[in-house]
Amino acid sequence: MTPTSTRTTALVTGASAGLGHEFAKQLAAQGHPLVLVARSASRLEETAADLHRRYGITAEVLPADLTVDADVAAVVERLKDPARPVGILVNNAGIGLLHNFEDNPIGAEKTT
Ligand SMILES: NC(=O)c1ccc[n+]([C@@H]2O[C@H](COP(=O)([O-])OP(=O)(O)OC[C@H]3O[C@@H](n4cnc5c(N)ncnc54)[C@H](OP(=O)(O)O)[C@@H]3O)[C@@H](O)[C@H]2O)c1
CA dist., res. 75 & res. 28, Å (int)? 20
List the chain residues with pLDDT less than 50.
4
71 lines ligand 1 (CB under 6 A): no
Tell me how far the alpha carbon of residue 76 is from its chain's centroid. 11
User: What is the model's pLDDT at position 64?
Assistant: 98
User: What is the model's pLDDT at position 20?
Assistant: 98
For a pocket test of ligand 1, which of 76, 92, 95, 98 has the largest count of ligand atoms closer than 8 A to its C-beta?
92
CA dist., res. 65 & res. 16, Å (int)? 13
For residue 85, the CA-to-ligand 1 centroid distance in Å is 25
What the chain holds in terms of domains, given with CATH numbers, is: 10-111 (3.40.50.720)
Q: Hey, what amino acid is at 19?
A: L
